């Protein structure tokens, strides 16, 4: 089995109409009815009894109040021992009561009406998801132990707010289906997995600052050039460029500088229509193990080797002929 099977289909379900998303957001704002978190919601949602920090008392540390049409969660600030919280699928515009939950480890706040993910520093938060909101900025996300951050399906145009000093542990960042046009301001050198499918990105300048990156998803962007990659990126193994504007094998050759690159996806890009596409990509990237969803077999490797050797010999002959002509002209 391929080492890259886990990557298959990561972005397969992205289907976006920004006009529909924006209209839905406007409709939601107009139709919201006030609905506060109440004692019954809390009783039904609390679970997982654990010892508190002093090792003597006990408290419930998980609260699940998803899909309750909540507009107000002020009561939650009283439950300071919560570690796992799911408030997804509500009508929340304000999550500031979460600032009191300083023991929080995991937060799910997807499918709300948030325009910001800003919170005070939560010292133990490790995973946070804010997908399918109306967030426009990455400002105010500064949790020192955060390892996974999901901000997909929002309206974010810039990532300048993601501070590498305040997000020193961040390893996975998902920003699918936003309005980003560049990766230039992503300065998170500890980042390992980056998902940027379905944005408006047309170049990868500055991507080489992500020196620990292992997985890069850029599907359905306007990328035509692969300038930006350098041999500083010694850990990058997988790149998804499906549905981009890459139309030339020479651009793919720019990935030669990545020593651990083993899998690339280029399907639904113009270059995939080139004659002998699979062989030409293998000639350009000799260490590649998989293109799109198919691993290279030994016959393909042999064919690529033979074609590459033939071209090398032809280039030598051509060079030799040019040197003879130049010598004759000089004499």
* Domain limits, the chain: 8-330
Q: What is the pLDDT of residue 9?
A: 47
- Given a cut of 70, the residues of the chain with pLDDT beneath it are 1-30, 320-331
pLDDT of residue 275: 92
Per-residue model confidence as pLDDT tens digits over 285-319: 999 999 999 999 999 999 999 999 998 888 888 77
Report the pLDDT value the prediction gives residue 11, as an integer from 0 to 100. 52
Q: Which fold has domain 8-330?
A: 3.80.10
Token output for 269: 């890009």
The pLDDT assigned to 317 comes to 81
pLDDT at 76: 97
pLDDT of residue 265: 98
Which pLDDT belongs to residue 3?
A: 52
The phi-psi region of residue 177 (left if phi > 0; otherwise alpha if psi is between -120 and 50; otherwise beta) is: left
User: pLDDT at position 31, please?
Assistant: 74
Contact between 234 and 214 (Cβ < 8 Å): no
* pLDDT for position 73: 98
Say what the pTM is.
Answer: 0.89
- Confidence (pLDDT) at 29: 56
């Amino acid at each position: 089995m391929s080492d890259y099977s886990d990557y298959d289909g990561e972005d397969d379900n992205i289907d976006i109409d920004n006009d529909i998303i924006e209209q839905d957001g406007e409709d939601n704002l107009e139709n919201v009815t006030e609905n506060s978190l109440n004692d019954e919601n809390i009783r039904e949602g609390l679970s997982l009894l654990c010892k508190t920090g002093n090792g003597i008392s006990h408290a419930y540390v998980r609260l699940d109040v998803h899909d309750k049409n909540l507009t107000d969660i002020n009561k939650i600030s009283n439950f300071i021992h919560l570690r796992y919280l799911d408030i997804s699928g509500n009508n929340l515009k304000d999550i500031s009561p979460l600032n009191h939950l300083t023991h929080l480890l995991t937060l799910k706040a997807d499918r709300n009406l948030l325009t910001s993910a800003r919170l005070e520093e939560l010292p133990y938060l490790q995973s946070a998801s804010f997908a399918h909101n109306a967030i426009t900025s990455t400002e105010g996300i500064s949790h020192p132990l955060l390892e996974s951050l999901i901000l997909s399906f929002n309206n974010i145009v810039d990532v300048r707010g993601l501070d590498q000093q305040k997000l020193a542990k961040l390893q996975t960042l998902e920003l699918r289906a936003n309005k980003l046009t560049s990766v230039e301001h992503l300065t998170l050198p500890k980042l390992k997995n980056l998902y940027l499918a379905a944005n408006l990105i047309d170049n990868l300048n500055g991507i080489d600052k992500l020196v620990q990156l292992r997985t890069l998803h850029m599907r359905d962007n306007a990328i035509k050039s692969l300038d930006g990659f350098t041999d500083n990126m010694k850990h990058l193994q997988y790149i998804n460029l499906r549905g981009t504007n890459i139309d030339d094998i020479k651009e793919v050759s720019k990935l030669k500088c990545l020593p651990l690159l083993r899998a690339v996806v280029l399907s639904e890009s113009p270059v995939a229509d080139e004659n002998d596409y699979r062989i030409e990509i293998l000639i350009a990237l000799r260490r590649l193990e998989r293109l799109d969803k198919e691993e290279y077999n030994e016959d393909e490797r042999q064919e690529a080797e033979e074609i590459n050797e033939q071209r090398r010999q032809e280039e030598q002959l051509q060079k030799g002929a040019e040197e003879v002509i130049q010598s004759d002209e000089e004499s």
